[in-house]
Structure 1
Amino acid sequence: MNAGEKRRTPWIVGVSGASGTPYAAAVLRGLIEAGESVDLVVSRAARLTLLDETGISFRDAHWQDDLGRWLAAGADGRPDTFGPGAYAEAAGDVRYWAAGDLAAGPSSGSYPARGMLIVPASTACVAGVALGLSKDLLQRAASVTLKERRPLVVSVRETPLNGQTLRHLVTLDDAGANVVPASPAFYAGATHIQDLVDFVAGRVLDAAGVPHTLYRRWKGGLGGARAAES
């Protein structure tokens, strides 16, 4: 690296197999729009969920095209919610790593990264990270993030939660992770399903300290969202 060259320090985004791929898309759009570098890891189970929820296949050899289609689609299933071709070439500094590649950059603590966001996080993913199983790159990168004392945000998407999963979440909290359940709020004046998705994505980015304008913030006055709409 040249003396004047800026070192690339990405956010690692892990997408596990829980329902909620629109949450992941919203987080990715937020990071790209904030000018952040992104390293993306999509688990095998997440590919099935993405196909089921959006009809989009995520393929290693065509990940840029598939990511562009995913980011352009809204939570309502429309393929062009954010404009046809808006993310046709996965705009921004995005690098993709296959989930089975345990020799990938994010598998090592010496690989520079700002931290990691897991969205959505399935209960199986939560358990794997809490127990340090490192069965795939997603879990390994999360373990590395914790051991290097970097920010780890885990957006768990499951209901109901049993005692075992709750104990795993407490373990992650004790280890320094920030647990952000995928729980939409309504005080921001949601009028569309995408507003609820963006609220959760915004809270994930808040936990990571990434600036965004995904939702209307609470300002201390009752009825603020309704007043803003009138």
Structure 2
Amino acid sequence: MSIQVELTDEERIAATKVFGDRLGLAERYVQHLATTGMERGLLGPREVPRLWNRHVLNCAVVTELIDQNARVADVGSGAGLPGLTFALARPDLDITLIEPLERRCIWLHEVCEDLELDNVTVMRGRAEQVVEQVDADFATARAVSALTNLAGLTIPLLHGKGQVLAIKGRSAVEEVDKASKVIRKLGGRNTEVLTVGDSILAEPTTVVRIQVG
């Protein structure tokens, strides 16, 4: 199955800024998403025309919040959003993709092998099951769970020090209000709602950042 997902002029400008000389790899990743990713149910066919803007670039711009050479644990990676976009945009990062479903892990392994990504580890399991195997500086997630539940899945992976970066939508502020007690109980000391990619995306990405330790 061959589907070409073309970049618009605006998307190409943004993608070049985010991925630099690795844009070709990012384009190959998008082809994987549009073909085998869709065939195996990792995303729906309606998402294919908006893969770049709504998904890949939306995720990749979050790397501006991540320190150099950081260890990043991506919870509920699914189709590699956001974890694989981070690995493509920032080869200095050490990325662990945490995903409980075997078929998704198999797909992630195949994509990493094809793209020759040596900074990615795919770990099958639920976040709460792999806490002792993962020690991250940053824990990330997108479209996994409401913050009241997500805090308990991500904060423990930091082992007392680091940041949670949760990609959220318009309900971010409301979610933070509801989760504030849980976050504090788990060791989160400062929670804020940020937008990233303002200068290059038509619709910037909303991120909840939780400082721990």
Write 1 or 2 for the structure with the bigger share of helix. Answer: 2
Calculate the TM-score normalised by the size of structure 1: 0.43
Write 1 or 2 for the structure with the bigger share of strand. Answer: 2
Calculate the TM-score normalised by the size of structure 2: 0.46
State which structure, 1 or 2, has the greater radius of gyration over its C-alpha atoms. 1
**Greater RCO, CA 8 A, separation 6+:** 1
